[in-house]
Amino acid sequence: MLNHIIWLNTEYYSTFQIILFLTGAVLWVVNYVFIVRTIFKKKFVEMPAAVLAANVTWEFLWGFIFEQNMGMVVKIGYMAWFFLDLFIVWGFYKYGFKQVNESLKNYYKGFFTFGIIAWLAFTYVFVKQGLDNPLGANSAFGSNLLISSLYIIQFLRLEDKTVLSFTAAWTKWLGTGIIFLMCVLRWPENHWIIVMGSLCFIMDMYYTWIFFQYKRGLVKQS
């Protein structure tokens, strides 16, 4: 039975494309680890609620329900993302009230739960309608557009920026950017990925830049 498992699909993807994708995937693992680390150290979830709901549902569906075509290594990677995201979900239910306005503190858990259900339904139908690609990249870059924009808004809104991780910022930018490059090389005709990925890259780069400027300002003041 083990002989029939395809660990990496080198017929559909080039070795370079696989290396790019796995590199980006590992950077996202590092990103999640630092977000979880911040939860335990700072008692704050830096991933915005809408982003987290989209992330965890995508990873559940592509890790356990849908089949991507790069191989078992990537399936295991998607599962790893999901289980790391579960820690972040737990953190949000516990500390998510710090993200929202005072008027929403009694309702944020209900809104977040509804968001998970809504994203689950949306992503499932999106894939079932044949709108995604073999790695789930169409839906991933669609939700990443939300991720990239909300991170910037949250950074500018927060007064105490010490609860945010710079490592999480640059690994998100670099990880998504490398996966975007891989997707463009493999599917240059996919204009959805090109547009969504370009916008995500620009916003992630901007987020990392303003975060860097903030940190450099702290160094100058010390």
Measured between alpha carbons, how far is 80 from 153 in angstroms, rounded to an integer?
A: 28
Q: Is residue 4 pLDDT above 80, yes or no?
A: no
Q: Which amino acid is at 39?
A: I
Q: Which pLDDT score, from 0 to 100, does residue 1 have? A: 43
Chain segment 62-93, per-residue pLDDT in tens: 999 999 999 999 999 999 999 999 999 999 99
Number of H helices and E strands in the chain, helices first, is 7, 0
Count of structural domains within the chain: 1
* pLDDT of amino acid 218: 78
Nearest CA to 157 out of 101, 103, 105 is that of 101
The CA-based dihedral angle spanning residues 35, 40, 42, 47, taken in that order and rounded to the nearest 10 degrees: 30
Which structural domain, as residue segments, surrounds residue 65?
2-221
9, 10, 11, 15: CA torsion to nearest 10: 140
- 19-64, pLDDT tens digit by residue? 999 999 999 999 999 999 999 999 999 999 988 999 999 999 999 9
**Residue 134, SS3 per DSSP:** coil
Q: What is the pLDDT of residues 175-214, one digit of tens each?
A: 999 999 999 999 999 999 999 999 999 999 999 999 999 9
The pTM for the full model equals 0.94
